Amino acid sequence: MTLTGQTALVTGASRGLGRAIARRLAREGSAVSINYVARANEAASLCDEIRAEGGRAITVQADVGDAAQVKRMAERTVSELGPISILVNNAGVVYRATLETFEPTGMERMRRINVDGLIYVTRAVLPPMKERKYGRIVNLSSIAGHGTSLPGNAFYAATKGAVTVLTRRFA
């Protein structure tokens, strides 16, 4: 696989799966926009690693649950790396609670990032992809979104179920 000439935006890319995905995309030739919200040092480290291997990368701090920040993230990516042709919606958080311990603020934050964030980022990159008649969008979900869940993960499962349904409907 070669992705030379492509630009990828990976949300939640400072660690874990997002970091691994961003590294792989860079190794395949894609320029990579590394989104993070709080782990600036980890994002910068990944950016440095990619550049040391001859790749192109930038870091962009943005809360994917904030539409204005997402818009700025997409604009900066395009300005510095070129049109976004690959989007990996990876950012996500877990809020563990039972019905008895549920707090609205925990659920709100998780929904805002896991569901709204996917919508905001997709909406920011999709129109230019359609204009160019090319683009790839990958949404990361969870097996929990298919109805299986550990105790205390029902609310997380609900947000990942929403990701799964939205992915199918957007396709």
Q: Which residues are catalytic?
A: 156
Q: Could you tell me which of 74, 94, 92, 84 has the C-alpha nearest to residue 140?
A: 92
Beta carbons within 10 angstroms of residue 106's beta carbon: 16
Q: What is the DSSP string of 63-119?
A: -TT-HHHHHHHHHHHHHHH-S--EEEE---------TTT--HHHHHHHHIIIIIHHH
Residue in this structure with the two tokens 């969008």, named with its chain if needed: 137
Residue type, 166: L
